[in-house]
């Protein structure tokens, strides 16, 4: 491949939450970015997201927190119910403790609001060029640039490549090799719907998240869109699978699966018109996240089961840390005599060294979240004696003890990660 010039953009493949956040983070640090998305109209299917203080710090750094204030719901508490009896097992206060302990709120919002805000911000930034209808199938990384290709052989070149293609990333195998790389079905599905709040019983319209724990199933719901809609997710032990997002599901199937659950929950589930079902997959921790000038980000690097509500948060954190790491590497590009100078482009930047540092900063944390999330899934779906023991512990243990177990997740500040003394050299 020929040498790149100073304005050569960083290519980002995939304009989901992670890809958009990465493009914005890099553009804010002065890098030119070309963002390439498979879909003709980048968008998001309807469903909700919870975002904790760690994610909120990333949103602030990316300049979009303010845009979401009206759409987001600040959750006041998390209520945990026994799914069959409906009894409240525990109530963990989120507001004000989240703000007090971690300096940011705990939000619930519609994925479309988050994606829309990121997309709007990306479109405002001159440094970002967005190309849609582009399906990356392969890349080639050279000593001075990277090239990506579609199936038809069309090519785009850039200084580096960020692969943000989600769970089913087409190019991940080129980075980590083929062995053991197919996502594994987790034996669970997530069925999601949104219900207008006027159809929902008053207690469930309040700004709280609810989890109902039943044998082999659990249900999560919370309000989104400024409280106008309630997002409802039913997770079942299930054998239905396919290698893509979303399949329409009959309401009767969800209702039948939850027939042993408490009456208020069954009434809530029956109020929904349409359901989409997602099979859930896991992927073993990857041996590496980068190869030459190409690097993984978000679900492409560390798909995470949703039982800690952290997958999108980790993608946002990745984006902020990656932008910081590349920015620091750029400002430390050294001339032959060893003197430090600031350059305003990516020429001379050692991408492989910078990606190695980004991987060091991020891999341990993301793998820990993956493990804890999978463990939560097992605990949520307990049956028989383990279920009774779990419920007894939830009833008896003080809320602050449980909350303290999650400190390491919410305390994380992605804007400080690349600056901390333990973060290693900048390149």
Residues forming contacts to ligand FAD in the complex (CB under 6 A) are: 13-19, 36-39, 42, 49-51, 134-136, 164-166, 170, 190, 233, 278, 298-300, 304, 306, 309-313, 315
CB of 342 to ligand FAD, least distance (A): 31
CB of 309 to ligand FAD, least distance (A): 3
CB of 387 to ligand FAD, least distance (A): 22
CB of 321 to ligand FAD, least distance (A): 14
Q: Which two tokens stand for residue 325?
A: 């790491």
In the complex with ligand FAD, the residue whose CB is nearer, 50 or 291, is 50
What does the alpha-carbon distance between residue 263 and residue 248 come to, in Å, rounded to a whole number?
25
CB of 303 to ligand FAD, least distance (A): 7
CB of 316 to ligand FAD, least distance (A): 8
In the complex with ligand FAD, the residue whose CB is nearer, 295 or 312, is 312
In the complex with ligand FAD, the residue whose CB is nearer, 34 or 330, is 34
CB of 421 to ligand FAD, least distance (A): 28
In the complex with ligand FAD, the residue whose CB is nearer, 336 or 405, is 405
In the complex with ligand FAD, the residue whose CB is nearer, 214 or 377, is 377
Measured at CB, which residue is nearest to ligand FAD?
16
In the complex with ligand FAD, the residue whose CB is nearer, 39 or 243, is 39
In the complex with ligand FAD, the residue whose CB is nearer, 136 or 193, is 136
């Amino acid at each position: 491949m020929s040498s790149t010039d100073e304005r050569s953009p960083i290519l980002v493949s995939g304009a989901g939450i992670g890809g958009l956040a990465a493009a914005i983070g890099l553009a804010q640090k002065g890098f030119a970015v070309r963002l390439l998305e498979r879909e003709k109209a980048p968008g998001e299917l309807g469903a909700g997201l919870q975002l904790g203080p760690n994610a909120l710090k990333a949103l602030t750094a990316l300049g979009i927190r303010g845009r979401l204030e009206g759409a987001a719901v600040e959750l006041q508490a998390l209520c945990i119910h026994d799914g069959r009896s409906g009894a409240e097992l525990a109530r963990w206060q989120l507001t004000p403790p989240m703000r007090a302990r971690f300096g940011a709120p705990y939000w619930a919002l519609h994925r479309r609001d988050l994606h829309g805000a990121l997309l709007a911000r990306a479109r405002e930034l001159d440094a970002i060029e967005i190309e849609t209808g582009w399906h990356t199938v392969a890349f080639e990384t050279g000593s001075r640039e990277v090239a990506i290709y579609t199936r038809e052989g069309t090519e785009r070149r850039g200084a580096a490549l960020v692969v943000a293609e989600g769970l089913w990333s087409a190019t991940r195998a080129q980075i980590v090799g083929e062995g053991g790389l197919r996502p594994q079905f987790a034996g669970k599905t997530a069925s999601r719907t949104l219900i207008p709040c006027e159809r929902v019983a008053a207690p469930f319209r309040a700004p709280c998240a609810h989890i109902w724990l039943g044998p082999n199933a659990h249900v999560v719901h919370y309000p989104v869109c400024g409280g106008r809609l309630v997002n409802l997710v039913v997770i079942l032990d299930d054998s239905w699978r396919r290698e893509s997002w979303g399949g329409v599901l009959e309401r009767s199937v969800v209702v039948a699966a939850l027939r042993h659950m408490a009456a208020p929950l069954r009434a809530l589930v029956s109020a929904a018109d349409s359901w989409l079902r997602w099979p859930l997959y896991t992927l073993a921790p990857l041996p590496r996240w980068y190869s030459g000038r190409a690097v993984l980000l978000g679900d492409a690097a560390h798909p995470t089961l949703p039982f800690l509500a952290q997958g999108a948060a980790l993608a946002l954190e990745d984006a902020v840390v990656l932008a910081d790491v590349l920015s620091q590497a750029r400002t430390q590009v050294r001339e032959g005599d060893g003197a430090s100078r600031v350059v305003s482009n990516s020429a001379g930047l050692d991408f492989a060294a910078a990606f190695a540092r980004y991987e060091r900063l991020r891999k341990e944390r993301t793998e820990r979240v993956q493990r804890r999330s999978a463990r939560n899934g097992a605990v949520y779906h307990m049956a028989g004696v383990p279920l009774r023991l779990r419920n007894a512990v939830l009833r008896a243990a003080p809320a602050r003890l449980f909350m303290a177990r999650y400190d390491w997740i919410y305390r994380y500040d992605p804007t400080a990660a690349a600056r901390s003394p333990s973060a290693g050299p900048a390149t």
